[in-house]
Amino acid sequence: MPQARNLRQSLYFVFFYYTIMFQSHSDHIILVEMLFKVGLPAYLQSRKHLLRIYAFTIILELSKDVSSCTSSFFIPNRHFHSQMLYYTRRPRDLAFGLLNFRKGFFSMERIITYTISTGDSGENVLGFLRKKGFSKHILTTMKRAEQAILLNGQPAFGRTVLKEGDVLRILVPEETGDGAESSIIPVPLPLDILYEDEDILVLNKPADMPVHPSAGNYENTLANGVAWYYKQQGKAFVYRCINRLDRDTTGVLVLAKNPLSGALLSAQMKQRQIRRTYLALTDGIPPKRGTISAPVARMDASVITREVNFERGEAAVTHYERLAVSNGYALVELHLDTGRTHQIRVHMKYIGCPLPGDFLYHPVFDRIGRQALHSFQLEFAHPITGEPMCFLAPVPEDFRRAFAQ
């Protein structure tokens, strides 16, 4: 690092090498406003230098009173909790203090405490965590976090051997800002929250709401609403949707709130341990019950439309049971072994009983204006506690009205 001739230059050099990361476009707007206030040269206002300049503007504010050995500083309008940054005269202390300050505000870190049982006695920490589902990636991020592993209140290492009765405290760090999540725009959209704890968020998704942003859908998705929800709480946001639903499919879905719960729920999904129950209306009366095993593939010359294709399709299995019949429509309960795109819609059309209101596969809108498909029930084991969880989403009014007509 170059030699600094004064405190401000020293602080600038420190932050030149210890970059602070930010979350969204709104951060850059705030930054530009600060640039004009402190009068930095215009050429530094380019996006290339935003991160370093923002750190520098903070330093300029902090260093106004360098005679004070310890002072405090708040960043206004940053959706932070009322935490305080303390700094000393030494630039290195200030740099690392700000870095830790940033982590504390942005990260939705999960702390899990385990009491070691007789069966786990003699296992080392690393082996124990792997048995609990900690992936290699999560373990790597823990190495970069301070005091990520505490055994009986003291720092421990992967090879530390556990004894019965030991209390193991694990911090699961969150990483934000590096993926697509950083580009999700927070938008105040209504959320129907069925359940929330430290690890999962269970929602009842309405119709006409995509789950993920895509071309033409940047501010109207479930991800936008969830981003706003956590922004209001000053928490980090990494969008992990475990069971995805089509835009016009309503009902229950679960989001993972930290890397560990996300990894464990994804593993349950791959191992078919998450039981998904759907309700659908069909235009036509299917047999009382049955199983559809027909591979699904993307249709030629189409980006979105799927079809049953036994030559190049991916395996897809749907189980169904007819529950009731009304005016030529059937109310059907469905369970999936696989999760192919549009699987239920394609399979029911394949057996001659398409879903009404489906603009791709059966555009008949006389009784309902969207595909009559509802994620009614979701069952899984809680990713951390292992407790059986079961959530139900009420059947929407348009669905009930279409069947009753």
pLDDT at 195 over 60: yes
In a domain, 2, yes or no: no
Average the pLDDT over each of 80-84, 97-101, 300-304 and give the range with the smallest value. Answer: 80-84
**Tokens representing residue 121 in the block:** 């006695």
SS3 content of the chain, % helix, strand, coil (to 5): 30, 25, 45
Distance CA 194, CA 96 (A): 40
The reply to whether 114 and 71 lie within a common domain is no
Distance CA 135, CA 145 (A): 16
Domain boundary among 139, 172, 205: 172
Distance CA 398, CA 401 (A): 5
pLDDT bin (cut points 50, 70, 90) of residue 174 is confident
Structure confidence at residue 340 (pLDDT): 94
Check if the beta carbon of residue 108 is closer than 8 Å to that of residue 81.
no
142 — phi, psi (to 5°)? -65, -30
Structure confidence at residue 236 (pLDDT): 75
Structure confidence at residue 260 (pLDDT): 95
Distance CA 309, CA 353 (A): 18
Structure confidence at residue 215 (pLDDT): 87
2 Cβ neighbours under 8 A, 6+ residues apart = 13
Please, what is the Cα angle at 111 between 108 and 114, to 5 degrees? Answer: 160
Structure confidence at residue 74 (pLDDT): 30
Of 267 and 105, the structure prediction assigns the larger pLDDT to 267
How does 76-97 read in b/e, with b if 16+ C-beta sit within 10 Å? eeebeeeeebebeeebeebbeb
The reply to whether 160 and 254 lie within a common domain is no
The reply to whether 224 and 346 lie within a common domain is yes
CATH code of residue 360: 3.30.2350.10
The reply to whether 45 and 122 lie within a common domain is no
Structure confidence at residue 343 (pLDDT): 97
293-312 mean pLDDT: 95
Domain boundary among 105, 133, 155: 105
From 120, 166, 199, 246, the catalytic residue: 246
Catalytic site includes residue 248: no
Structure confidence at residue 176 (pLDDT): 56
Average the pLDDT over each of 7-11, 154-158, 294-298, 303-307 and give the range with the smallest value. Answer: 7-11
Amino acid at site 55: A
pTM: 0.71
The reply to whether 87 and 123 lie within a common domain is no
The reply to whether 189 and 45 lie within a common domain is no
pLDDT bin (cut points 50, 70, 90) of residue 258 is very high
Residues in the chain: 405
pLDDT bin (cut points 50, 70, 90) of residue 183 is confident
The reply to whether 140 and 243 lie within a common domain is no
Q: Convert the pLDDT of each residue in 129-143 to its tens digit.
A: 999 999 999 999 898
What DSSP assignment string belongs to 258-290?
SHHHHHHHHHHHHTT-SEEEEEEEEES---SEE
In terms of residue numbers, what domain contains 45? 7-105
The reply to whether 66 and 124 lie within a common domain is no
Domain boundary among 62, 85, 105: 105
56 Cβ neighbours under 8 A, 6+ residues apart = 11, 12, 15, 40
206-210 mean pLDDT: 96
Structure confidence at residue 144 (pLDDT): 84
Q: Convert the pLDDT of each residue in 226-249 to its tens digit.
A: 999 999 998 878 899 999 999 999
Structure confidence at residue 155 (pLDDT): 94
In a domain, 45, yes or no: yes
> Which residue is associated with the tokens 């007509």?
405
Distance CA 255, CA 242 (A): 6
